[in-house]
Amino acid sequence: MSKTVLIVDDVELSREILKNAVSSAKQKNTVQFAENAFDAMKKIQGISFDLIIMDIMMPNGDGFELLSMMSHHGVTSKIIITSGLDKSIVSSASMLGKLYELDVVASLEKPIWAEQITQLVDKTFADTDADFTTKKPINGLTKIIDDDFPINLVYQPQVVSDINVTSGFEILSRWSDESGALLPPSYFLPVIEELGKQKVFTSIVIKKFEQDYYQYFSKLDKSLRFSINIEPDLLVDEMIVEQLLDLYNKGVEHKVVIEMTEQSLTDNIERELLANVLKLRLNGFEISIDDFGVDASNIERIIKLPINEIKIDKKITLGLAHNIDYMQKLNEVKKLVSVKNARIIYEGIENEETCAFLETIEGYNQQGFYHGVPLLPQAAVEALNKQK
């Protein structure tokens, strides 16, 4: 059975090279062209293409617009992205396509070899014939499985600086691109938020931590804490709360700290948030306020919560030595944690001077590159063993 292919590229020479490569594939196929996103969508709405090969940079409708439009129309075609742009942009475009729940099978940097395209097209057509039910619709949407969110977790140590002891790890997420590189949250979290997939993403992170815990961390000293970031608006979601509670129900023995960013605390979820935070506290979790000090801090709002920890934002940490306003803000925090019997962790420790200054004001709980970069779980355990 003949396959249908759409090549979307504004450069005629590129279109012809790609056409020749596709025509050399083992499977018989027919090829159509489009020069921009809008031209492509007109053709896509008329034909269900088996494969779409698309560029990113095109005038009058670029590749990012095309990905968005294809997602809106529920396009199920296999997609290959090609571009001469920076590798990180190409990778992010592929990631965006997957977040849009499109079937992106590859992203390639230009220049590309015709033989490379031919082999990839052969593989894609073979996979298409063999794969009928990789994704099942749920409530009109495509279910996002782990493979669509290739998340890896890394663990950054938190230390007691004067005795150089690791007290815990903050759990941080990384997106694994096609090359195996781990992309930081700045690459993918804005897209996840734009698409409203925060709940799915958070659920995957909790699940990944559970897997890492049993594989790597379960036998470590039980005094260690593991801190996981959960946005306040998700802590009013019963499914996320139950998934957190299940960590202890399934046998996690270490203390789990829920970090909430201060600027995300809003009045409209105050009652529901407080109820669920209390439930978590009663079941053994600790509560932390993350990134404290950025923008307009609201200690009055924090007073209402049963917190165990406040994390001072790195901007405040780095400015304490020469900004009296920051020091005044820190003194207010110290009074609060004294009443709450809580602790302060200082973020952004990147050199010995900052570490030493904080120790002069009894700021011993620290986190930052000076004490350790975020590590994959096995490396984190190895670093901990070396410290011992």
pLDDT in tens, 108-142: 888 878 888 999 999 988 876 655 444 433 332 23
Looking at the whole model, is its pTM more than 0.75?
Answer: no
* Whole-number Å distance between alpha carbons of 355 and 125: 57
- Residue with token string 């920890």: 309
Rounded CA gap, 249 and 251, in Å? 6
Q: In whole angstroms, what is the distance from residue 222 CA to residue 122 CA?
A: 52
Q: Using the structure block, give the residue that is written with the tokens 């306003």.
A: 325
d(CA 158, CA 164): 10
Specify the DSSP class assigned to residue 79.
E
Is-contact 256 244, C-beta < 8 A?
yes
Show the tokens assigned to 311.
């994390």
Eight-state DSSP code of residue 234: G
Q: In which residue ranges of the chain is CATH 3.40.50.2300 found?
A: 3-136
Say how far apart CA 28 and CA 35 lie, in whole Å: 24
Q: ω before 59 within 30° of 0 (cis)? A: no
**pLDDT at residue 244, as a whole number:** 97
Q: What tokens does 323 get?
A: 């900004």
Domain limits, CATH 3.20.20.450, in the chain:
146-387
| Superfamily of segment(s) 146-387 | EAL domain (3.20.20.450)
* CATH, range 3-136: 3.40.50.2300
pLDDT at residue 178, rounded to an integer: 60
Sequence letter at residue 178: E
Where the chain has pLDDT below 50, the residues are 132-147
The total of other beta-carbon atoms located within 10 Å of residue 347's CB is: 22
- 78: tokens are 């296999």
Q: Can you give the pLDDT at residue 311?
A: 95
Phi, then psi, of 259 in degrees rounded to 5? -95, 130
Cα 100 to Cα 148: distance, rounded to the nearest angstrom? 10
87-99 and 63-72 helices, crossing angle to 10°? 10
